[in-house]
Chains A and B, each alone.
Chain A
Amino acid sequence: MRSQAAPSSKSPDQKIEEAIGLQLRIGVMASAAVVLLGGILYFVEPSGPRLGYRNFRGAAGALSHPAVILHGALGGDSRSIIQLGLLLLIATPIARVVFAVAGFLFEKDWLYVAVSLLVLAILLYSLVFGR
């Protein structure tokens, strides 16, 4: 189907997109592996009765802060390991925007360096200040 597209004829855009595609795949697989590891530990480790999901409890006692999650995960807590995997997952598309900034810098496309930096700024704002 794409026999006419020899590797040498690939546009810079196409190369950037393929690098981003690889980065996305690695990010998703790595985070799924961490979540799976946490999930296995979650069922193996002894625990008291766990609460259901029917009643909304809000943020009280939730694993929501990156520093708390990292600390717990290093201590081998299964729920923290799952959350760490989910943090990695959330970071994957953010890393893709960082890649795009680098790609547009390489192409000297200043308009799109600015556009992707703006998207990155919105994402970081949501992570740091969003509640």
Chain B
Amino acid sequence: MSQAELSLWVLLSSLLAGLIGSLTGLGGGVVIVPVLTVLFHVDIRYAIGASLVSVIATSSGAAAAYVKEGFSNIRIGMFLEIATTLGALFGAYLTTRVSTLWIGLIFGVVLLYSSWASLRARDEHGGVEQPDALAARLRLAGTYPGPEGPIAYSAQRVPAGFGIMFLAGTLSGLLGIGSGAVKVLAMDQAMKLPFKVSTTTSNFMIGVTAAASAGIYLSRGYILPGLAMPVMLGVLAGSILGSRILVRANVRSLRIVFGVVIVLLGLEMVYNALTGRL
């Protein structure tokens, strides 16, 4: 395969990965890394470098669209970014210490968890429970637009949320993904924030988290221009297309089909890691 042909195939696959990532809500990074390693036999560190760049592009683009709706909370996002950026530094450090076997295995587990989390039923947490003292001090509260005017909410269990966010940042730096599912876990499950606030604020944080490790990947030479170019452009275009489709169509059955495809890719990646072909 010539370089031009290879780039074209990578571009088309990235477009599809961005589309699937956007339709399933998993994000493009979690799809493109297994595609590059399993289908194109790209070294996993180069795949992660290219994916990180595409994660910054899609999350920044999506965040720009979400802020208008008034769900994202800039204070909660900024406070938790302390945890995710520190985690991202730690994750990028780990990539030099951990073998590609372990990176592949951890990736598989995170992929399976993310697809399970995206299909799980969501329950909205209503109203303000007993306000957390630490949350009140840090002003981790807000309102979001409801059908009958603004609905108030306040964060609970801040230390637990902060800890899970550090983990989310570590996974992002280690695997080159947005780890949106783990960020939502921290805000939605641990801190009991409304689901829509959790997902939109998570999107806002993904770009900053990925930027912390992308700088390190770039200076290590893990970001190859010839590979990152089609991946970034493809995933970005695919996710924009996906968000257009999402507002028009009910994609429940599509999500399930794609979810199964992603799980199979993840299993293949784990298999390749275990048999030393990664």
Contacts and interface: CB of A to CB of B under 8 A. Distances in A.
Interface of B: 3-4, 6-7, 36, 40-43, 45-46, 53, 56-57, 60-61, 63-70, 72, 74-75, 78-79, 81-82, 85-86, 88-89, 92, 138-139, 145, 149, 207-208, 210-216, 218-221, 223-230, 232-233, 236
Contacts of A108: none
Contacts of A17: 67, 72, 74
> 5 nearest interchain CB pairs?
A62-B221, A59-B221, A130-B216, A82-B225, A93-B207
The A interface, classified by DSSP as helix, strand, loop or mixed, is helix
Contact of B70 (A14, A42, A53, A60): A14
Contacts of B86: 122
A29 to B, nearest CB: 8
A123 B7 CA distance: 31
A56 B67 contact: no
Contact of A53 (B43, B92, B210, B215): B43
A2 B211 contact: no
A116 B225 contact: no
Choose among B36, B56, B236 the residue with the greatest number of A CB atoms under 10 Å from its CB: B56
Interface in A36-61: 36, 38-39, 42-43, 49-50, 52-61
Contacts of A20: 67, 74
Interface of A: 1-2, 4-5, 13-14, 16-18, 20-22, 24-25, 27-28, 31-32, 35-36, 38-39, 42-43, 49-50, 52-65, 78-80, 82-83, 86-87, 89-94, 96-97, 100, 103, 111-112, 115-116, 118-119, 122-123, 125-127, 130-131
Nearest to A101: B78
B64 A126 contact: no
Contact of B236 (A16, A32, A83, A92): A32
28 contacts: A5-B145, A14-B70, A17-B74, A25-B61, A25-B64, A31-B57, A32-B57, A39-B233, A53-B40, A53-B42, A57-B221, A58-B220, A59-B220, A62-B224, A64-B219, A78-B225, A83-B225, A86-B225, A86-B232, A89-B56, A93-B60, A93-B211, A94-B211, A97-B78, A100-B78, A122-B212, A126-B89, A130-B219
Given A18-B68, A100-B78, 8 more contacts: A5-B145, A14-B70, A42-B225, A79-B226, A90-B215, A94-B211, A116-B78, A131-B219
Contacts of B227: 53
A96 B208 CA distance: 8
Nearest to B142: A13
Given A25-B61, A28-B57, A93-B207, A130 B89 contact: yes
Nearest to B227: A53
Given A5-B145, A24-B64, A64-B219, A56 B56 contact: no
Nearest to A49: B3
A65 B219 contact: yes
Choose among A18, A50, A103, A130 the residue with the greatest number of B CB atoms under 10 Å from its CB: A130
A118 B82 CA distance: 7
Given A116-B78, A130-B92, A131-B220, A123 B212 contact: yes
